[in-house]
A = this chain, B = another copy of it.
């Protein structure tokens, strides 16, 4: 992908601070870290969305993210916890359309957090959850 910045990084045509590189998956520092130590783990094969990602590669991506999580804890940056985050789709906050799993360290008072919309305050009744669960179950069987 000519225009994909992550593909350019993988091809050595764009700069990056690589922490891990192998056949299927690469990890490098996010240039705008939530906190110092923020890593992106990506598949080498271009996949814009989760739906385009081979499941085995996704599984491996997560293995690497687990290892990176522990490594970040041992890398001398402030790290008392870790978040993993993935945005699939523009409305979900995806900005680079090559799948990437964020791994970033957290510490007390770092100011990071989640903002919730108005619906978050309302706990849906069990029957609503059951109904949606049935629909997701049906979709999983398809």
Contact = CB atoms under 8 A, between A and B. Distances in A.
Given A19-B140, A51-B69, 14 more contacts: A17-B132, A17-B133, A19-B133, A20-B137, A29-B129, A31-B129, A50-B66, A50-B70, A59-B60, A68-B140, A75-B138, A84-B84, A111-B117, A112-B117
Given A58-B66, A111-B118, A124 B36 contact: yes
What is the size category of the interface that chain A forms with chain B? 35 or more
SS class, residues of chain A in contact with chain B: mixed
Nearest to A54: B66
A67 B28 CA distance: 26
Copies per complex of this chain: 2
A12 interface: no
A59 to B, nearest CB: 4
B89 A106 contact: yes
Contact of A35 (B66, B88, B117): B117
